[in-house]
Structure 1
Amino acid sequence: MGCSLELSEFKHGTMIDFHLFNKSICEISLLLNIPQSTVSGIITKWKQLGTTATQPQSERGQCMLKCIVPRSRQLSAESIAKELQSHVAFR
């Protein structure tokens, strides 16, 4: 994975505006010179959450928990908590 930069709120709004004017993800990607996966992710996030703002840290921790638990179902709650804290603490 390469280095990622936050897009400005203006670019987020521009993507949503283009989407509302029935531009395809491919067209939006070409117009703004942003990868299609990024455009798709922003539009999906906007449809689901009604916003394109970055999620608070606590929600990211919940996402990490969803990744840890299925991967290691035999672990105790204490060891899962320690692993979650170690992942969240470094981000």
Structure 2
Amino acid sequence: MITVDELFADDRRNPPPERSLPWQETRGGVTVVVEPKPHWAEDMTAFRLTDRAYCYYADWTLNGPRARFFRHPETSGEAVMAKARAMIAREIVGRWRT
């Protein structure tokens, strides 16, 4: 039986463009949650951990906390991470029951 934390740790072993689960990065005292790139997107998105704001991962990689963040009405990094953890937990429970 694998845990949610083990799945996240395993996914972090991949290079950022190949990850399928969100992860945290901190630079200059600012923490973001990076949302993996969907197949149709040009870049990944980095959401501030506790604030409803995002920037493009390329900008975050280049500028760190000086990246240009945009307001987002409903999503913070905490929300992105919580949603992903809940999805993985449901998947694990679903497989365990069958």
* Superposition TM-score tier, normalisation by shorter sequence: under 0.3
Which protein, 1 or 2, shows the higher relative CO under an 8 Å CA cutoff with sep ≥ 6?
2
State the TM-score, normalizing by the size of structure 2: 0.24
The structure with more helix, counted as a fraction of residues = 1
The structure with more strand, counted as a fraction of residues = 2
